[in-house]
Structure 1
Amino acid sequence: MPTQASRRTFLRSGATLGALAGLGNLDFLARLAPVSAAETQLPQHALGLQPDVAPIVRLIEETPREDLLEVIAKRINGGLSYQTLLAALLLAGVKNVEPRPSVGHKFHSVLVVNSAHLASMASPDEHRWLPIFWALDYYKVAAARDVEERGDWVMEPVDERAVPGADKAAAEFTAAMDAWDDAAADAAIVGLARTAGANDTYEHLFRYGMRDFRSIGHKAIYVANSLRTLNCIGWRHSEPVLRSLAYALLMHEGDSPRDRQDAADVPYRKNLERVAKLQRAGASPPPAHLGKPTTDNGATTELLTAIRRANNDDSCNLVIEQLTAGVPLQSIWDGLHLAAGELLMRQPGIASLHAVTTSNALRYAYETSGDEETRLLLTLQNAAFLPMFLNEMGGPDKMPTIRIDELAAGEGDAATPPTIDAIFNELGADRSRGAQLMLTRLSATGDANEVINASRVLTFLKGNDAHDYKFSSAVLEDYYNVSPAWRDRYLASNAFNLNTATEPDNDLVEQTRAAFNA
């Protein structure tokens, strides 16, 4: 253990890690045609992709894992576009990986596509291929696992005779989802895909993505991630994606949950009643209130305290009380994001990680929905889910008492804040100290971009799991969804699960380098 003096000298040194200094070991990507920021957005005049997407899907499916990166690199050098490859990657996943018995596990090969895309969008032009190559390799692993576990499941053709027309599709989809009827929902969602636009279709899907707590939030995550990816690749490719999504949303154990009182379903049923009562009383916030920029830090702290009690009735009832009292929804969402970050501080792991990524998905749906009732339900469901995550982790009495609103800065000051390298090295040795150092630097410099950029590079270099991409993309996005007064604490709390400088490099960068040099 170094002495306090030597540690202080290191923290204030200007030396930088090779991984974070100019991305030197990613220089080989500069030989590729860079992906511009514009290419990661769907042109407004475009309805879909080029007709060669299906052959690229087959190429991904049929090429052995050990050859895939080299084969795709040659196609890129021959003109294969970012959007076409992204579409083919998503479609290969929804066709060949079953979102059951859980919407997580191997199905992360589909869920992670949008996270890789978000990482690409936020990266320099010349580095945008790397997250997509990671996701390609991960798909091959998941597809092999699906063969092993599910006997090579492949999505069947839809029953065309059952597909409803435009006048019936929405009603039949709602009826099928409420009845937990796989076959009817499959036909109805195809009717929506063919006759309704993305906005109308996803207004339905937002409801069913937040309906239950099965798969610890992955249903809500799939709803948000599928829409975000379709917004890039085009609605033309929505039909297989929506069929996979509807099938995933109906995942359950045992008999139909319709007539049961499962713990996973009860909060949504109660929140429907809460919203109806709120609206009957005329106390629900008008549309202008939904975007009201002012905040109430006291209300945020009050909600944090309620969630710590691990009772979803308490937290949902408090949200209703706060809304009735005129508390801005931004302050309520601040409390939700901070509570998720605090869970991660108290017990880093799968459950707390998904508290963060589920909150990100519900927040995206909240920001995207045009229906006031849906937005209120999304807020309440997040307030219900967070105590449920806490109970999944063993309950409040099984974990250390750590408060995000009491997180203190570490060594350093405005004149000599800890370096980026010192922070990410310290995170590898002591997460708590590393988070404190991060908070010190954020407070001193007022600039989170350097921390965010370093974290993203470390995900590229060190990430070995879909959760590394899913988690970092969610956190780095939600930093800007949290009010300025709380942002630094939110980011520092999530440092408990970010990749660190002391982890071994993954082998993907070297594989990608070799593929493009072949």
Structure 2
Amino acid sequence: MNRTAGTPRRSFLGVCGGATAALALSELDIINHLPRVSAAEATLGQQAVRFSDDIEPLVRLLEETPRNRVVEVFADKVRSGTSYREVLTALLLAGVRNVEPRPSVGFKFHAVLVVNSAHLASLASPDQDRWLPIFWALDYFKSSQARDVQEGNWTMAAVNESSVPAPHQARQAFVDAMDNWDVDAADAAVAGLVRSAGANEVFELMAHYGCRDFRSIGHKAIFVANSFRTLQCIGWRYAEPVLRSLTYALLNHHGEPNPSTSDLTPDAAWRVTDSFVDGFDDQWNSGKLDPSVTVAHLQTLRDATPEQAVRETAKLLQSGIHPQSIADALFLSAGEMLMQQPGIISLHSSTTTNAMQYAYRTARDPKTRLRLLLQNAAFIPHFRSSMQSRGKVATKTIDQLQDLEAPEQATSVTKIFELINDNREEASRGAMAFLATGGQAEQMIHTARQLVFLKGNDSHDYKFSSAVLEDFYAVSPKFRNSYLAASTYLLPGSRDRDNGLVDRIRSAVG
């Protein structure tokens, strides 16, 4: 690969274009024993995890460069030959070493969660824009790093090698530790697992535990999907520290007793899912597509409890309904929540559904896939309940969108994104009319991405846009337009304030 800032787009996509494929990583090297940082080497006064020699200096550079210089310093590195993959690797590894996924898998930890979203935005960008999301994420990491310092300056420690299980014992040790919510045992076990198992096997386990509880409003499932998707580009040999961070995040139950010995609300739907999984035969994934079932299930999910959502979804599968008809109802439910209460909860209904549906499409084990689908259904009522505590929830429904009359002036993509600043309901109607009369969805998608680059100030701008713009193609054609039109309730408008980074990045990268 040409390691200059001018790398041709076809080479760039050749390196990183596998972001949406099933996990078939090309680099399946077993990670060697990671050396500890000596007292002389450690800058943070502890035995922090140290990365391999090929990437450690670049990670240190990111950690130690002041925020007001990070764009220019990394632009110099790019011009001198540092590749996209190397910058992406340093960004992810600096995040997992310096930012703790506690007390919640969110907030400052979005510096890690947003890496894949920025990467996806880069993949979909024209040549002149493809560095913008990555340099935005470099700047964002520095703000999260500073916040972590204020909150105690956590740093990932080196693995306790004396506790790492033997290769033939690593999988069971990991399962036992995760089932018992044992942080220390799980940390050692996942190190042994990554060193001895393949990427696909590890992904199956992480997907299983990533969907078991609603704590941190879906961020556990999001971290599972985003970490593995980024590893597809940077290489499996960097997996150990990333998956140690992921394991630590999946075991977060801040402020609660041990879930393995307690009957807690966030785990109730998982117990119902557990009761169904073994009762399915191998034919559950070969049912009939039925749009009318999608609409009916959407209605069910509006009023169901998490446990009821699992049961009703299981009944549909057992009756011979294809999983895509259920997935469509999940996507539409997430889109509808955007219309009813645009904000942080409804946004995460979309990003979590994106993550869980990615895991569903990627996992091989039928039982893992079934769990993901049932738990995705359970999460929808959790999000609806969380919205109730955030204020007024409108009565708008997404299946009525196509029946609404569009405002006369919303005849182009440009006008749709202008309307977002004036009236998001009218923008949504205009988008629906534009798409229904032959307008190209790709024009809306391209414009939305451009505006995120220019206007995005928060990790959620990237997380949300990358999720919903990708999922347009995951929704069945009959429902796609409604889903994309609903996204205008949280996409940026053309008159939003610029974030101020774009000109600085373009000037620095040249």
Q: Same fold (TM over 0.5)?
A: yes
Query: Which amino acid in the other structure matches residue 440 of structure 1?
Result: A
Map 1:429-444 to 2 at 5 A. Answer: 429-444=422-437
Q: Write the distance in 2 (CA, Å) between the matches of 1:146 and 1:412.
A: 47
Q: Percent identity?
A: 49
Q: Corresponding residue for 2:388? A: 394
Q: Corresponding residue for 1:357? A: 351
Measured after TM superposition, the shift of residue 33 of structure 1 is: 4.3
Q: Write the distance in 2 (CA, Å) between the matches of 1:396 and 1:135.
A: 29
Task: Note if 1:37 corresponds to 2:30.
Answer: no
For 2:467, which of 451, 466, 474 is the aligned residue? Answer: 474
For 2:339, which of 330, 334, 345 is the aligned residue? Answer: 345
Moved more, 125-134 or 234-243: 125-134
Task: Note if 1:259 corresponds to 2:266.
Answer: no
Q: Corresponding residue for 1:458? A: 451
**Structure 1 residues 81 and 358: alpha-carbon distance in aligned structure 2, compared to 1, 3 A threshold:** same
SS in 2 for 1:348: coil
Matched residues, number: 477
- The RMSD of aligned alpha carbons is 2.1
Q: Write the distance in 2 (CA, Å) between the matches of 1:119 and 1:397.
A: 32
Measured after TM superposition, the shift of residue 44 of structure 1 is: 6.8
**Structure 1 residues 59 and 47: alpha-carbon distance in aligned structure 2, compared to 1, 3 A threshold:** farther
For 1:56, which of 58, 79, 100 is the aligned residue? Answer: 58
Q: Corresponding residue for 2:406? A: 411
Stretches of structure 2 lacking an aligned partner (at least 5 in a row): 19-23, 30-50
Q: Write the distance in 2 (CA, Å) between the matches of 1:41 and 1:120.
A: 10
Q: Corresponding residue for 1:496? A: 489
SS in 2 for 1:211: coil
For 1:103, which of 105, 112, 136 is the aligned residue? Answer: 105
Measured after TM superposition, the shift of residue 325 of structure 1 is: 1.1
For 1:299, which of 290, 293, 296 is the aligned residue? Answer: 293
**Structure 1 residues 384 and 46: alpha-carbon distance in aligned structure 2, compared to 1, 3 A threshold:** closer
Q: Write the distance in 2 (CA, Å) between the matches of 1:39 and 1:501.
A: 32
Contact 1:425/1:502 (<8 A) preserved: yes
Query: Which amino acid in the other structure matches residue 324 of structure 2?
Result: Q
Q: Corresponding residue for 1:7? A: none
Stretches of structure 1 lacking an aligned partner (at least 5 in a row): 1-29
Q: Corresponding residue for 1:201? A: 202
Measured after TM superposition, the shift of residue 342 of structure 1 is: 0.4
Q: Corresponding residue for 2:416? A: 423
SS in 2 for 1:167: helix
Q: Write the distance in 2 (CA, Å) between the matches of 1:455 and 1:334.
A: 22
Q: Write the distance in 2 (CA, Å) between the matches of 1:478 and 1:262.
A: 32
Q: Corresponding residue for 1:4? A: none
Contact 2:27/2:236 (<8 A) preserved: no
Query: Which amino acid in the other structure matches residue 514 of structure 1?
Result: S
SS in 2 for 1:153: coil
Measured after TM superposition, the shift of residue 32 of structure 1 is: 4.5
Q: Corresponding residue for 1:336? A: 330
Map 1:170-249 to 2 at 5 A. Answer: 170-249=171-250
**Structure 1 residues 417 and 389: alpha-carbon distance in aligned structure 2, compared to 1, 3 A threshold:** closer
Q: Write the distance in 2 (CA, Å) between the matches of 1:52 and 1:65.
A: 23
Q: Write the distance in 2 (CA, Å) between the matches of 1:46 and 1:312.
A: 39
Measured after TM superposition, the shift of residue 275 of structure 1 is: 1.8
Contact 1:96/1:154 (<8 A) preserved: yes
SS in 2 for 1:264: helix
**Structure 1 residues 417 and 427: alpha-carbon distance in aligned structure 2, compared to 1, 3 A threshold:** closer
Contact 2:421/2:496 (<8 A) preserved: yes
SS in 1 for 2:489: coil
Q: Write the distance in 1 (CA, Å) between the matches of 2:506 and 2:470.
A: 28
Query: Which amino acid in the other structure matches residue 188 of structure 1?
Result: A
Query: Which amino acid in the other structure matches residue 325 of structure 1?
Result: S
Q: Corresponding residue for 1:136? A: 138
Deviation sequence 1:18-69 (CA, Å, 0-9, x none): xxxxxxxxxxxx9854553213247975558995321110110011111111
Q: Write the distance in 2 (CA, Å) between the matches of 1:431 and 1:378.
A: 32
**Structure 1 residues 232 and 376: alpha-carbon distance in aligned structure 2, compared to 1, 3 A threshold:** same
Query: Which amino acid in the other structure matches residue 285 of structure 1?
Result: Q
For 1:274, which of 244, 251, 276 is the aligned residue? Answer: 276
**Structure 1 residues 321 and 465: alpha-carbon distance in aligned structure 2, compared to 1, 3 A threshold:** same
Q: Corresponding residue for 2:36? A: none
Moved more, 76-85 or 124-133: 124-133
Contact 1:338/1:490 (<8 A) preserved: yes
Contact 1:285/1:323 (<8 A) preserved: no
Task: Note if 1:507 corresponds to 2:500.
Answer: yes
Q: Corresponding residue for 1:121? A: 123
Query: Which amino acid in the other structure matches residue 210 of structure 2?
Result: G
